Amino acid sequence: MKLLFKQRFFSWFDSYDIYYEDGRVAYTVKGQLSWGHCLRVFDASGAFAGTVKEKVLTWLPKFELYVGSRYMGCVRKKWTWFKPRYVFECNGWDVRGNIFEWDYSIADAQGRTVAKIGKELLHWTDTYVLDIADPADALLVLMFTLAIDAEKCSRN
């Protein structure tokens, strides 16, 4: 399953549209006024699906993930020298990025690929392609992509 993740060009807060390969809207994401990033995810019908909340005052970036109102765990950036690395503390996924922080690979605890995330260049806004092995993981992969995009935004 592939999803196209596009940040909206004109938006007061962080806003994103996520599309299926055929162009249908899969999710929309709306930022909220808060201390640190707070992104609310809605499915195609407009129903609330989850939240990505940045934990502030942490040494390394950390984001809490909620599916509905249920806390799922967090995404935590690990200390590395050149290539970014993250850990999903909710399910043990290991995430490795390239040195430019454009492409990421997510693997489960057994080393199987869960998803590949690639940033497309030459767009006005942040645009990613999410290639997800199991459609049931789509929301969590999307939430991770939101977290890394927010982390890069905070850093820059």
DSSP string, the chain: -EEEEEE-SS-SS-EEEEEETTS-EEEEEEE--SSS-EEEEEETTS-EEEEEEEEPS-SS-EEEEEETTEEEEEEEEPP-SSS-EEEETTT--EEEE-TTS-EEEEE-TTS-EEEEEEEESS-SS-EEEEEESSGGGHHHHHHHHHHHHHHHHHH-
Give the range of the structural domain holding residue 149, as residue numbers without chain letter.
2-74+116-155
130 or 77: which carries more pLDDT confidence?
A: 130
80 occurs within a structural domain: no
* pLDDT tops 60 at residue 50: yes
Q: Give the pLDDT band (50/70/90) at residue 85.
A: confident
141 occurs within a structural domain: yes
23 occurs within a structural domain: yes
Looking at the structure of the chain, the number of domains it has is: 1
Token pair, residue 44, equals 């195609």
Q: Give the pLDDT band (50/70/90) at residue 155.
A: low
Q: What is the pTM of this model?
A: 0.85
Q: Give the pLDDT band (50/70/90) at residue 66.
A: very high
Q: What is the mean pLDDT of residues 15-19?
A: 91
Rounded to whole angstroms, how far apart are CA atoms 132 and 117?
8
According to the model, what pLDDT value does residue 42 have? 97
Residue written as token pair 């922080």: 101
Rounded to whole angstroms, how far apart are CA atoms 128 and 4?
6
Rounded to whole angstroms, how far apart are CA atoms 20 and 37?
25
According to the model, what pLDDT value does residue 120 have? 83
Q: What is the mean pLDDT of residues 1-12?
A: 76
100 occurs within a structural domain: no
146 occurs within a structural domain: yes
Q: What is the mean pLDDT of residues 12-22?
A: 84
Residue 82 burial by Cβ neighbours in a 10 Å radius (0-12, 13-18, 19+)? exposed
According to the model, what pLDDT value does residue 12 have? 52
According to the model, what pLDDT value does residue 89 have? 80
